[in-house]
């Protein structure tokens, strides 16, 4: 990657971080491009050089953030498979990866969950696409688990995948907002027990 591309990538990273923090604090409508530029330590023109508008910046922020989450889930599944772990173990590793992501990017997670409930945004179609990318990683592991007999054939794969992703998102936000004294290991253990009780278990 040449120096120009590296600089642009670094600048976009700064803008993403500034935007997600400000929008989490003030909301999308109340956050100005000037404030994003100031928080990122760049000129206002730099924002428009990288993005056509504040809406485009936010749309790309959603792509970027959910892309990181998807990659972390996939990496957890791949690492588990590489060491010979089963599909329930892969799902458990993905839960932990999701918690780690949310612990690292709490402001982004708050924004993402909030935007999922809104239907009047210009980026709604993009949000649906990136959401499906994350859920699809979990769907693949469930599908493989059903195919090899590790998981029950009665599992509704699309709904179960969405439920697992949603469980991690909501539980992690609740953890950070209302149960911050808990450790990540503690939260993971609770969700792991839920996973093994409801999803684990092969065909009878």
pLDDT by residue for the chain (204 residues), tens only, comes to 567 788 888 999 999 999 988 888 888 888 999 999 999 999 999 999 999 998 899 888 888 889 999 999 999 999 999 999 999 999 999 999 999 999 988 888 888 888 877 777 777 788 888 889 999 999 999 999 999 999 999 999 999 999 999 999 989 989 988 999 999 999 999 999 998 876 555 444
CB 19 within 8 A of CB 61: yes
> Among candidates 52, 59, 56, 57, which has minimal Cα distance to 39?
57
CA dist 7 → 2, 52, 64, 88, 94 (Å) = 9, 18, 17, 41, 32
The residue count for the chain: 204
Per-residue pLDDT, 111: 83
The pTM for the full model equals 0.85
CB 38 within 8 A of CB 56: no
First to last CA, the chain: 53
Per-residue pLDDT, 188: 96
Q: Hey, what are 76's tokens?
A: 């957890």
DSSP tag of 180: T
């Amino acid at each position: 990657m040449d120096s120009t591309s590296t600089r642009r990538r670094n600048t976009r990273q700064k803008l993403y971080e500034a935007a997600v923090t400000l929008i989490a604090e003030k909301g999308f409508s109340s956050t100005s491009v000037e404030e994003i530029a100031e928080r990122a330590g760049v000129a206002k023109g730099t924002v428009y050089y990288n993005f056509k508008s504040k809406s485009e910046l936010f749309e790309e922020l959603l792509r970027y953030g959910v892309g990181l989450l998807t990659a972390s889930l996939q990496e957890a599944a791949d690492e588990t498979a590489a060491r010979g772990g089963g599909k329930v173990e892969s799902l458990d590793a993905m839960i932990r990866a999701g918690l780690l992501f949310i612990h690292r990017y709490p402001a982004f997670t708050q924004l993402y969950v909030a935007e999922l409930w809104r239907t009047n945004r210009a980026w709604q179609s993009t949000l649906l696409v990136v959401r499906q990318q994350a859920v699809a990683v979990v769907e693949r592991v469930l599908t493989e688990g059903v195919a090899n007999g590790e998981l029950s054939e009665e599992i509704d794969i699309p709904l179960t995948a969405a439920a697992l992703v949603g469980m991690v998102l909501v539980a992690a936000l609740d953890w950070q907002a209302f149960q911050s004294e808990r450790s990540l290991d503690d939260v993971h253990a609770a969700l792991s027990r839920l996973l093994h009780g409801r999803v684990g278990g092969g065909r009878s």
